[in-house]
Amino acid sequence: MRWVVPEAEHMAEGTLGCQGCGGALSMRLVLKELGQDAVAVLPACCWSIIDGPWPVHALDIPVLHTAFETAAVVATGVKAAKTIQGKDTTVVAWAGDGGTFDIGLQALSGAAERNEDILFICYDNEAYMNTGIQRSSSTPTGTWTTTTPDQRPEARPKKDIMGIIAAHRIPYAATATAAYPEDLEHKVRTAVSIKGGMRFLHLLSVCPPGWKMEADQAIEVMRRAVRSKVFPLYEIRNGREYTITHWPDDLPIEDYFSLQGRFKPLLGNDEMLELVRENVEERWQTLLARHERSHSGAPA
Amino acid sequence: MPERLLLTGNHAAAYGAMLARSEVISAYPITPQTMIVELLSELTASGRLDAKFITVESEHSAMAACVGASAAGARAYTATSGQGLALMHEMLHWAVGARLPIVLTNVSRAMAPGWSIWSDQSDILSQRDVGWMMLFAESVQEAQDFIIWMYRVAEQVFLPGMVGMDAFILSHTAEPLIVHDQEAVDEYLPGFQPLYDLDPEQPRAYGGLVNRDHYFELRYKVYENMERAGQLLIDAGEEFGEVLGHKYTPLEGFMLDDADYVLVSAGAMTSNVRQAVRDLREKGIKAGLLRVIAFRPFPVKQIRQKLGGRKKVAVLDRNMSAGHSGIFAEEIRSALLGRPDAPPVYGYVVGIGGRDVRVETAHEVMNDLLVRDEPEMSLFVGVKGLPIGPLRSDYEIRPLEPLEVMR
């Protein structure tokens, strides 16, 4: 499925994002399909900086900055006000992985369980990048961060946030990445069009400084994450119906990891690398089975 | 037509939020506040109140939802107590910095551990410095009316405000309540007119990064508006009398004009203190009562005027700031500091954790005040086995162990 990426830009040039910032690119692409009657709620994250200090503002929709753990519920409050005012404004919570997987999870789960009429978008750069690269529960196995140094790299796998979200049985959830913009735009468009319930987008968003890599490899690295099945692209409707939206091509996972200095501990540890390989394959097979069941005509 | 009903403080608060036409209500249950959110749920579900009710998963989220709703231009209300108010702390600051006129009812309860659901003002007074206006209700009527009075001022100064009422003594006690005529309340409190409401036609950013060259001024304006709120509370309290039949003031005196000995109190225990003052007058003692209704902004000038020149002032605190004194006493002392006619201020800590503050308790305080020479910071009333007085002097705290290096 291919969609033309709209040409119109809704984000100013010259934001404070780092070179090759996946979060900034994700925002730029999302805005293209979000529509103009929208409000974004931003908890503490890189985007607290990227949007610029007062009185600068990079987006052509309003932004309400809020506390770290509150993106989903502040968006809920904004939506409640808009609804009571008779407006149909799209309210987006835009959070990093910390504000989604960790400190923001309680409010996110609350909003998802209540099926609030908001769109929650996580731009996931797999660590606390704004505070200078500390591990989060989104940090994958074998990763270096300043709190998982080379001598003790991240031991646990990345938290399965999509599984958690699916368990809430919200109308729509999807993974996407700016390396596949047509796929991303399609999912934003779908999410915006589904009204009356919670929608969740999980966007893998490269962070060249935090991932210890060259900025000009930003798109390539996100593409390899998808091709190697480390970050598959799919949709989940109503928490049960899975659809893989882009088929990976068996790129070895090492080809994804080797572009990034943060995986040096992993690449130097065969045992850990095997564990990761098994984990990636096991998750892929689970996803594939769900996809096939969802599209077999049998009950999901 | 106004209705006269027999209702608890909690239900009165729910009626206050309804009469104020709150548009977004977000709350989390906690004893002893729960009845407020139960009744508001019913009122919104039945359509009697046209509001969105968000049943969030924590008090932190309750305040966060109010922040979002208020920022988008809706009149937002919540209610909580004790641990819940403490959990909200971060977002209480947010509401101030974002200049959002949210109103909150706090049913004051003691902080854990040990778990206690009983009356104690330590929860609300721990939020003293966040920049919320604070009113202390004494009656079921005030539990309702202060919400309306608070919105009237909050929406002028774009600062939030909380109404404190005492656990059980007010929250669960039924008293006659005048539920005001809705049209009269509408006349007193017109719809919220926000300056900004997250309008997509005006794509601004709110609450983002400010550098050192602007933050100070933003906070200066918070201070400035809090100061303005002092006079606005007086004016809006007067208007309340004109439109809704009962005038409210930031301070209230009882038998105060010629009083030599003044008892200062806030909240529901004041009713018993008032009775004690009546009794004392009958015995020929020139006692008086000063009730503190507005705690933030603190009516410093009026307090100087009301307390200047008295022989002795006793402040009854159902709270304490360990390492200093009762918090009302601390505030009263600081208001009077350096005034040539400043009376000695005696701090009495009473009723912690819901221990009864009876008419007799106020008498005990007055008996002690009459004979005590030194105005102590904290005199504890009713600690088991101890007379009224400062901390016991015969109790030895575990001494420091000698350090190896010192030997």
Label residue B303 exposed, middle or buried (CB < 10 Å: 0-12, 13-18, 19+): buried
Could you count the other beta carbons within 10 Å of the beta carbon of residue B309?
A: 12
Flag residues of chain B having pLDDT under 50: none
- With b for 16 or more beta-carbon neighbours within 10 A and e for fewer, the A271-282 pattern comes to ebbebbeebbee
Averaged confidence pLDDT in chain A = 96
On chain B, the residues whose CB falls within 8 A of the CB of A110 are 56-58, 61
Query: How far off is chain B from A79, nearest CA to CA, in Å?
Result: 7
Nearest to A73 among B65, B202, B208 (CB): B65
The residue out of B194, B212, B244 marking a domain boundary is B244
- pLDDT given for residue B406 in this prediction: 63
CB B56 within 8 A of CB B177: no
Nearest to A290 by CA among A179, A173, A203: A173
Rounded distance, CA A100 to CA A297, Å? Answer: 34
The residue out of B193, B228, B244 marking a domain boundary is B244
User: Is A299's pLDDT higher than 70?
Assistant: no
* Residues sharing a CB contact under 8 Å with residue A240, sequence separation 6 or more, in sequence order: A166, A169, A294, A300
The answer to whether A62 contacts B64, with C-beta atoms less than 8 Å apart, is no
User: Is A80's pLDDT higher than 70?
Assistant: yes
Q: Give the ipTM of the model, two decimals please.
A: 0.96
CATH code reported for the domain at A22-294? 3.40.50.970
Q: Judge if B33 and B10 occupy the same domain.
A: yes
CA dihedral A207, A209, A211, A215 (to 10 degrees): 70
* Residues sharing a CB contact under 8 Å with residue B208, sequence separation 6 or more, in sequence order: A42, A48, A51, A52, A53, A54, A57, A63, A65
CB A115 within 8 A of CB A198: yes
Q: Could you tell me the two tokens for B77? A: 């209300």
Which of B23, B25, B61 is the best residue to mutate to test the A interface, defined by the most A CB atoms within 10 Å of its own CB? Answer: B61
Q: Is residue B261 part of a domain?
A: yes
Which of B89, B206, B214 is the best residue to mutate to test the A interface, defined by the most A CB atoms within 10 Å of its own CB? Answer: B206
The nearest alpha carbon in chain B to A58 belongs to B205
Q: Does A45 touch chain B (CB under 8 A)?
A: no
Q: Could you tell me the two tokens for B404? A: 């190896």
Q: Judge if B194 and B238 occupy the same domain.
A: yes
The boundaries of the domain holding residue B270 are 251-380
The answer to whether B24 contacts A113, with C-beta atoms less than 8 Å apart, is no
Q: Is residue B125 part of a domain?
A: yes
CATH value at residue B230 = 3.40.50.970
Q: Does A50 touch chain B (CB under 8 A)?
A: no
On chain A, the residues whose CB falls within 8 A of the CB of B67 are 66, 70, 74, 77
Could you count the other beta carbons within 10 Å of the beta carbon of residue A56?
A: 14
- pLDDT given for residue A297 in this prediction: 81
Q: Judge if B287 and B212 occupy the same domain.
A: no
Q: Does A21 touch chain B (CB under 8 A)?
A: no
Three-state DSSP class for residue B326: coil
Query: How far off is chain A from B202, nearest CA to CA, in Å?
Result: 7
Q: Is residue B395 part of a domain?
A: no
CA dihedral B286, B287, B291, B297 (to 10 degrees): 60
The answer to whether A62 contacts B200, with C-beta atoms less than 8 Å apart, is yes
Q: Judge if B19 and B115 occupy the same domain.
A: yes
* Distance (Å) of CA A231 to CA A185, B178, B203, B256, B349: 17, 62, 34, 74, 61
Q: Judge if B217 and B289 occupy the same domain.
A: no
Element (H, E) at B275: helix B270-282
On chain A, the residues whose CB falls within 8 A of the CB of B55 are 114
Rounded distance, CA A149 to CA A131, Å? Answer: 16
Model confidence at A3, pLDDT cuts 50, 70, 90, reads low
Conformational region of residue A23, where left means phi above 0, alpha means psi within -120 to 50, and beta covers everything else: alpha
The answer to whether A67 contacts B70, with C-beta atoms less than 8 Å apart, is no
Pairing of strands B251-254, B287-292: antiparallel
Which of B60, B63, B198 is the best residue to mutate to test the A interface, defined by the most A CB atoms within 10 Å of its own CB? Answer: B198
The residue out of B216, B244, B272 marking a domain boundary is B244
The answer to whether B203 contacts A114, with C-beta atoms less than 8 Å apart, is no
CB A215 within 8 A of CB A20: yes
Q: Judge if B236 and B292 occupy the same domain.
A: no
Nearest to A54 by CA among B339, B214, B300: B214
Could you count the other beta carbons within 10 Å of the beta carbon of residue B173?
A: 15
Per DSSP, the residues of chain A read: ---PPP----B-SS-SPPTT-HHHHHHHHHHHHH-SSEEEEE-SSHHHHHT-STT---BSS-EEE--GGGHHHHHHHHHHHHHHTT---EEEEEEESIIIIITTHHHHHHHHHTT-S-EEEEEE-SSBTTTTSB--TTPPTT--BTTB-TTS---SPPP-HHHHHHHTT-SEEEEEETTSHHHHHHHHHHHHH--SS-EEEEEE---HHHHTS-GGGHHHHHHHHHHTTSS-EEEEETTTEEEEEE------HHHHHTT-GGGHHHHT-HHHHHHHHHHHHHHHHHHHHHHHHHTSSS--
Averaged confidence pLDDT in chain B = 97
Q: Judge if B239 and B260 occupy the same domain.
A: no
Looking up tokens 């309680």 gives A106
The answer to whether A61 contacts B203, with C-beta atoms less than 8 Å apart, is yes
The answer to whether B200 contacts A36, with C-beta atoms less than 8 Å apart, is yes
- pLDDT given for residue A300 in this prediction: 56
CB B66 within 8 A of CB A78: no
Q: Judge if B369 and B230 occupy the same domain.
A: no
User: Is A72's pLDDT higher than 80?
Assistant: yes
Query: How far off is chain B from A153, nearest CA to CA, in Å?
Result: 33
Rounded distance, CA A180 to CA A288, Å? Answer: 20
Q: Which residues of B touch A (CB under 8 A)?
A: 23-24, 26, 50-52, 54-58, 60-61, 64-74, 76, 90-91, 94, 197-200, 202-211, 214
CB A213 within 8 A of CB A221: yes
* Distance (Å) of CA B303 to CA A137, A261, B251, B343: 54, 66, 8, 12
The answer to whether B69 contacts A81, with C-beta atoms less than 8 Å apart, is yes
On chain A, the residues whose CB falls within 8 A of the CB of B214 are 54
Looking up tokens 């069941």 gives A293
Label residue A115 exposed, middle or buried (CB < 10 Å: 0-12, 13-18, 19+): middle
User: Is A2's pLDDT higher than 60?
Assistant: no
Looking up tokens 């008996």 gives B367
The answer to whether B203 contacts A57, with C-beta atoms less than 8 Å apart, is yes
- pLDDT given for residue B263 in this prediction: 98
Rounded distance, CA A50 to CA A7, Å? Answer: 22
On chain B, the residues whose CB falls within 8 A of the CB of A52 are 205, 208-209
Nearest to B72 among A48, A67, A81 (CB): A81
CB A64 within 8 A of CB A39: yes
Q: Judge if B154 and B280 occupy the same domain.
A: no
Query: How far off is chain B from A61, nearest CA to CA, in Å?
Result: 4
Q: Is residue B271 part of a domain?
A: yes
Q: Could you tell me the two tokens for A190? A: 């779908």
The answer to whether B206 contacts A62, with C-beta atoms less than 8 Å apart, is yes
CATH value at residue B355 = 3.40.50.920
Q: Phi and psi of B132, rounded to 5°?
A: -90, 145
Q: Could you tell me the two tokens for B196? A: 């900004």
CB A267 within 8 A of CB A254: yes
Q: Judge if B314 and B349 occupy the same domain.
A: yes
CB A239 within 8 A of CB A230: no
Q: Judge if B240 and B310 occupy the same domain.
A: no
Q: Which of residues 193-212 of A touch B (CB under 8 A)?
A: none
Rounded distance, CA B384 to CA A135, Å? Answer: 51
Rg of the Cα atoms in chain B? 22
Please give the single-letter amino acid code of residue B336. L
CB A73 within 8 A of CB A110: yes
Count structural domains, chain B: 2
Domains of chain A, residue spans: 22-294
Rounded distance, CA A3 to CA A225, Å? Answer: 21
On chain A, the residues whose CB falls within 8 A of the CB of B94 are 66-67
Q: Judge if B215 and B301 occupy the same domain.
A: no
Rounded distance, CA A3 to CA A176, Å? Answer: 14
On chain B, the residues whose CB falls within 8 A of the CB of A99 are none
Q: Is residue B389 part of a domain?
A: no
Q: Could you tell me the two tokens for B214? A: 């602007």
Strand partners, B281: none
Q: Could you tell me the two tokens for A211? A: 């991932």
Model confidence at A219, pLDDT cuts 50, 70, 90, reads very high
Label residue B405 exposed, middle or buried (CB < 10 Å: 0-12, 13-18, 19+): exposed
